[in-house]
């Protein structure tokens, strides 16, 4: 997820986190679990109170697991995970101030919680995801719920980005050739 070369794939819940939950948790934490649905089923957009309502609507196809696990994207209300807030203090933070090391959820990964036991690699991926501040998508376009008009706007600006990148590379190559 966050290691290795090439283009980073980001902390995509659907590709990296949901499979871990599917393997270890959803046999109990399905839609019928009274407190915590950890499935990848859609979470209705209008019921997400912090991530979208009264805040802004990011137009994202949230999953039950994501909204429930992150307490609607609110680290203050989340009992199981602590991640850095955008408005955390700006002075230097002490070591282990927040993040995976302060997240109770890891107590559910070692077999003590109804036998759920993650592999070391699964734990690492989960810790990495928390320390990346629990992102839902790995790219702006992933899991979007845009209208056709919004998709056209997106493509228009992506087209511009490609043209700028082409220009940069052309200039870079001609500068390099000139200095030889």
Please return the burial class of 36, using the count of CB atoms within 10 Å of its CB with bins 0-12, 13-18 and 19+: middle
DSSP string, 86-107: TTS-SSPPPTTSSSGGG-GGGG
Is there a contact between 29 and 37 (Cβ–Cβ < 8 Å)? yes
Q: Contact region for ligand HEC (CB under 6 A) — 4-12, 26-34, 51-59, 87-95?
A: 26-34
CB of residue 16 vs ligand HEC: minimum separation in angstroms?
14
Q: Cα separation of 176 and 180, whole Å? A: 7
Q: Contact region for ligand HEC (CB under 6 A) — 6-14, 25-33, 138-146, 155-163?
A: 25-33
Is residue 35 at the binding interface for ligand HEC, with CB under 6 A as the rule?
yes
CB closer to ligand HEC, 80 vs 154: 80
DSSP string, 142-175: TTB---HHHHHHHHHHHHHHHHHHHHHHHHHHHH
Count CB neighbours of 151 within 10 A.
12
Q: Contact region for ligand HEC (CB under 6 A) — 89-97, 108-116, 142-150, 166-174?
A: 108-116
Is residue 71 at the binding interface for ligand HEC, with CB under 6 A as the rule?
no
Is residue 80 at the binding interface for ligand HEC, with CB under 6 A as the rule?
yes
CB of residue 120 vs ligand HEC: minimum separation in angstroms?
14
Site residues (CB under 6 A) for ligand HEC?
A: 24-25, 27-29, 35-36, 80, 105, 108-109, 113-116
């Amino acid at each position: 997820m966050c290691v290795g070369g090439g283009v980073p794939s980001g902390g995509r819940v659907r590709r990296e986190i949901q499979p871990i939950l599917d393997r270890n948790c959803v046999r109990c934490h399905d839609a019928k679990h009274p407190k915590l649905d950890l499935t990848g089923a859609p979470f209705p957009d209008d019921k997400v109170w912090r991530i979208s309502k009264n805040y802004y609507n990011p137009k994202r196809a949230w999953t039950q697991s994501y909204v429930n696990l992150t307490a609607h994207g609110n680290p203050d209300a989340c009992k199981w995970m602590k991640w850095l807030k955008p408005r955390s203090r700006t002075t230097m933070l002490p070591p282990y101030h927040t993040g995976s090391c302060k997240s109770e959820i890891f107590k559910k990964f070692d077999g003590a919680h109804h036998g759920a036991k993650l592999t070391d690699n699964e734990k690492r991926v989960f810790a990495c995801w928390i320390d990346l501040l629990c992102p839902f998508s790995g790219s702006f376009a992933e899991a979007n719920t845009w209208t056709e008009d919004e998709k056209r706007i997106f493509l228009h600006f992506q087209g511009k980005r490609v043209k700028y990148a082409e220009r940069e590379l052309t200039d870079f190559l001609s500068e390099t050739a000139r200095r030889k």
